[in-house]
Amino acid sequence: MGYHGPAPKPTAIRIREGMRAHKPLPPNEPKYGPGLPLPPATMSPSARKYWDRLLEDMASTGVLRVVDWMGLAKLCEDHALHDMLLAGFWSNTQKIREKQKQDLKLFQEAEQLSKIPVPGKKVKKKMGRPKKAQIKPVVQSIQEIATELASSIDGRRLLSSIGEIANRIQIQYREYGLTPAANSRVEASGGASGYVDPLEAAIAG
């Protein structure tokens, strides 16, 4: 079952702020040695950018632990994947718009050529039903194309994947965030062996 209400402030931050709320510290909170985690060798370059940024922001808080490497790496990879899928969606909209522009240009060129008379050629009046006029291509705005893409099957699948990853990032930020807030929620029972990292539990589903 998920937690309700705002996440408690990490103990390390409360101590640094001088215990302003005057609430007792969690008596059985698991203790892990502080330290900056090392990035895994398999981390993608895009995720590594997030890793460096988050470590730079979090290092001064004193709440990072060496054991946080797996959760932080997962958060960074999700960020990178989210960026890639979102960039792909907008790239597709741009390609569709460029195709529409090209179609319109070809239509206008063909229309101009049809108006130029050919020397020595007699124009014969054709009998019967008039020829159906070619429909002029329309160049949509990026937002209009994005709306149409979002309503397609593939577009809905892509946006669903983007939304799922965004929700997963939100969960990880709620549990780990820029400060490991979930650490204040956990009390060890039976020693350190009974401790289950909340972020790892959220990742495992």
Q: What is the DSSP string of 64-126?
A: -BGGGHHHHHHHHHHHHHHHHHHHHHHHHHHHHHHHHHHHHHHHHHHHHHHHSPPTTPPPPPP
* Spatial contact of 7 and 181, defined as CB atoms under 8 Å apart: yes
Distance of alpha carbon 138 from alpha carbon 104, whole angstroms: 7
Instruction: Collapse the DSSP code of 34 into the 3-class scheme (helix H, G, I; strand E, B; otherwise coil) and give the result.
Output: strand
Note if the pTM is more than 0.75. no
Calculate mean pLDDT across residues 27-35: 74
Calculate mean pLDDT across residues 126-154: 74
Q: Residue 136: CB partners within 8 Å, gap ≥ 6? A: 104, 107
Task: Give the model's pLDDT for residue 25.
Answer: 73
Task: Give the model's pLDDT for residue 81.
Answer: 95
Report whether pLDDT(153) > 50.
yes
Task: Report the run of H or E that residue 168 belongs to, with start and end.
Answer: helix 153-175
HSE of 198, CA atoms in CB hemisphere, 13 A: 22
Going by pLDDT thresholds of 50, 70 and 90, the confidence category of residue 203 is very low
Task: Give the model's pLDDT for residue 188.
Answer: 42
Q: Which range among 5-9, 149-153, 155-159 shows the weakest confidence by mean pLDDT?
A: 5-9
Report whether pLDDT(193) > 50.
no
Distance of alpha carbon 158 from alpha carbon 88, whole angstroms: 9
- The token duo for 182 is 């979930």
Task: Give the model's pLDDT for residue 85.
Answer: 92
Task: Give the model's pLDDT for residue 201.
Answer: 47
* Spatial contact of 10 and 63, defined as CB atoms under 8 Å apart: yes
Task: Give the model's pLDDT for residue 204.
Answer: 45
